[in-house]
Amino acid sequence: MPAISIVKRAAAYVTSLMEENLPGNMYFHNLGHTQRVVDAAIEIAGHSKLKKPELTILTIAAWFHDTGYLYHYKGHEDTSMIIAGTFLMQHHYNNDFIQQVWDCIEATKIPQAPKNLIQQIICDADMRHFASPDYFECAQNLKREWKIHLDKNFSDEEWRSLNLRVLQHHQYFTDYGKTVLQFEKDSNIDLLKKQA
């Protein structure tokens, strides 16, 4: 089966799954976030000289990495791995391929601990929004989501302070992340400091 075919099938499958089943109160971890992570993974991979088979593994993992949110909030990565594995087995992919996809998804668990370049790329892609001009909109959506799903309430100052700490302590793993994304993230850190 051609690699391009499985990526398109994964995209269609995850899109349908999320559109039909994801609760409307997933303000951050939704299909839009998944699509942004896929786009970011491809963006970062383009600067990392990945071979086509690695890009396929990376892209499939990016599509599936948050599908576990369909079933529960905490520990969603393990469920995402099951969903991805089931899909890939149905398409006759071997255990080695599936394991590499699982390893990428598992690497996105917080705290992130990637063990190779593909895992570094998906970790950086999952946190691409830290360096985005729409970071503050993303952060507000996450705040709303945590209030509903984790019963966490933050004042505006508590939220600003938490976001500042997270951005200051977070480190990108790839060369692209350490240069291009870090520079953009620093702009958001500066904006958070000015809000104090």
pLDDT (tens digit, 9 = 90+) per residue, 54-106? Answer: 999 999 999 999 999 999 999 999 999 999 999 999 999 999 999 999 999 99
Task: Give me the sign of the Cα torsion angle 91, 97, 103, 104.
Answer: negative
* Superfamily covering domain 3-194: Hypothetical protein af1432 (1.10.3210.10)
This prediction's pTM: 0.96
pLDDT (tens digit, 9 = 90+) per residue, 155-186? Answer: 999 999 999 999 999 999 999 999 999 999 99
- Name the one residue in this structure whose structure tokens are 């939704």: 30
Q: H/E element holding 87?
A: helix 76-90
- Per-residue pLDDT, 4: 57
- Cβ(50)–Cβ(118) below 8 Å: yes
On the question of pLDDT at 38 being above 90, the answer is yes
Report the distance separating Cα 35 and Cα 37, nearest Å: 5
What residue spans define the domains of the chain?
Answer: 3-194
Cis peptide before 111 (omega within 30 of 0): yes
- Cβ(121)–Cβ(45) below 8 Å: yes
DSSP letter at 110 equals: S
